[in-house]
Structure 1
Amino acid sequence: MKKSFLYQEHTREQITQMAEDGYMVVVALAATEQHGPHLPVFTDSLIGGAVATEAVEQAAKAVPVLLCPLIPIGCSDHHLRFGGTLSFSSATYLQMLRDIGESLVSNGFRKIVFLNGHGGNEPMMHQTANDLAVKHPVWTASASYWSISREALRAVNADEVGMVPGHAGGFETAAIMALREDLVAKEELATEHEGRAWINSGPAGTFIGRHQELTGVDGYTDAPHLATKERGERYLEAINRSVGDWLIKVYHSMEQGEESIKAPS
């Protein structure tokens, strides 16, 4: 019988054995927060959960990997003023991720990956991965799905609908149409939106923001009216393929590193 790639479907003995066998474990991060007047507050969790599930299932065909249950609440304080948002403060979120990492280390895992689906989680995610690798003899990695799939999304012209990934704009709207079109309030899809040139204006790894406008005017970055289900399906396919391939590469990098440590100098 084929082993499930879902962490929660195994017993404690099975999980302990998989940790001993060198399985890599993926922790998927998302959010529950406002996404404008047209998308559900579970948008990041719907997209992030789908990407994590599809990508890990793909990777599991090639390498031993487990997917932990999705964490559907993130660091979203910058959305609270719009309503509908559940959030951890940045300090609480950082500690929560550390605690999850410590749990996995206690369970015996030596290869831990954080896969993110909400921008506000990213700094604490990277810090957690760094802290765990400093404190314990483990391998860690962390990335957001849009960073992993940037080139693939460019190849399928994802920016044809607006900012990628943006927030509640054409890109995320297309993805939700592909996953749960019934949750999109199509009568609320704006055809025009006041842009902010400074959003994502710097090179990768930089930050620029303004009080009460971190996610654009009225809580979203760009008009979503160009989104379609077919476009969303194309974008998600590119993301899933890229993330799945990345997970396989990460596993092999960790495994090779482990062997180099064990080998005599």
Structure 2
Amino acid sequence: MTCRHWEHLTTTDLADGAYRNAVAVLPVAAVEQHGPHLPLGTDAILTDGVLDAALQCLPDTVDVLRLPTQRIGLSPEHANFAGTLSFDAETLIAQWTAIGRAVARAGIRRLVLLNGHGGQTAPVDIVAMRLRSEFGMTVVRSTYFALIGEHPAIDARESAFGWHGGLIETALMLAIRPDLVRVGEAADFRSVAEDIAAEHSALRVEGETGLGWMAEDLNLSGATGNAAAATVEIGRTLLNQAAGRLGTLLAELHAFQGIAR
């Protein structure tokens, strides 16, 4: 595998067409509260960590260009917690579209939008469609957490309600940056979404129906999910699963001839 950081190249590297068949990856993340036990940069740290691990899985025949991680995202649901940084959706859509446009102008037609924050899937979807419609690019949108798959520790309750700072994110942080995890502050952060689901047949906070919500609506700590159950061993397994799937995605996109038939 040949991976190059975009900012390490020269303009002539891109102008001569040597990377025309490469897959560009734009990681988009967030800087926002993750409860009392995880750092503000959790989403960016985990997105970069999964991508780093995935790149180690790729064969030498797959060329990847890694664009700079966009660390600040769309986090209005966390705005009432100190430290959260956020752009509005319109700003992000414009910024990410502009980056994609520049990638297209450099002659690169394949792009992965690797999202590390569940609260900004809508802007990612809009950017992917815009880059396809305006520049004819082949754009894949994905989240690292959707690539994790199943694990015995992720039970139905955690899968349904452990959205933020719960077992998955805490375990991954223990595997990637354990020095930033305040283990003594980790707890089982029960979500109000669990109660709403139990009390109603159709009304949900997320799922087939959804409510607009702020993080403190679900748990006053800002976190949801059983962070206390996280271990480094679980985190390493989840990291390997997500990295393996992402590596497969990058390899398949590198060989992909386009959606049009």
| TM-score, with structure 1 as normaliser | 0.85
**Which structure 1 residue ranges, 5 or more long, are not aligned?**
none
Matched with 2:240 is 237
Name the stretch that deviates more: 76-85 or 156-165. 156-165
1:58 offset after TM fit, Å?
A: 2.7
1:188 offset after TM fit, Å?
A: 1.0
Q: For the residues of structure 1 that align with 2:225 and 2:27, how far apart are their CA atoms?
A: 26
* SS, match of residue 73 in structure 2: coil
Count of residue correspondences: 250
1:99 offset after TM fit, Å?
A: 1.0
1:17 offset after TM fit, Å?
A: 3.2
Q: Which structure carries more helix by proportion?
A: 1
Q: For the residues of structure 2 that align with 1:92 and 1:183, how far apart are their CA atoms?
A: 30
Contact 1:5 1:65 (C-alpha < 8 Å) held by counterparts:
yes
* SS, match of residue 35 in structure 1: coil
Matched with 2:152 is 157
Contact 1:191 1:225 (C-alpha < 8 Å) held by counterparts:
yes
% identity of equivalent residues: 28
Matched with 2:172 is 175
Instruction: For 1:6, give the aligned amino acid.
Output: H
1:249 offset after TM fit, Å?
A: 1.4
1:252 offset after TM fit, Å?
A: 1.8
1:3 offset after TM fit, Å?
A: 4.8
Distance 1:181 1:123, change over 3 A: same
Q: For the residues of structure 1 that align with 2:3 and 2:144, how far apart are their CA atoms?
A: 23
Q: For the residues of structure 2 that align with 1:220 and 1:241, how far apart are their CA atoms?
A: 28
Deviations 1:45-100 (A, max 9, x none): 11001112222343363422211111111111111111110111111111111111
Contact 1:148 1:246 (C-alpha < 8 Å) held by counterparts:
no
Distance 1:191 1:130, change over 3 A: closer
Q: For the residues of structure 2 that align with 1:82 and 1:51, how far apart are their CA atoms?
A: 26
Matched with 2:201 is none
Instruction: For 1:133, give the aligned amino acid.
Output: R
Deviations 1:10-61 (A, max 9, x none): 2111133356532121111111100001100010011001112222343363
1:195 offset after TM fit, Å?
A: 4.3
CA RMSD of aligned residues (A): 2.5
Instruction: For 1:226, give the aligned amino acid.
Output: A
| TM-score, with structure 2 as normaliser | 0.86
Q: 1:248 aligns with which of 242, 247, 251?
A: 251
Matched with 1:257 is 258
Distance 1:216 1:18, change over 3 A: farther
Higher relative contact order (CA 8 A, sep 6+): 2
* SS, match of residue 225 in structure 2: coil
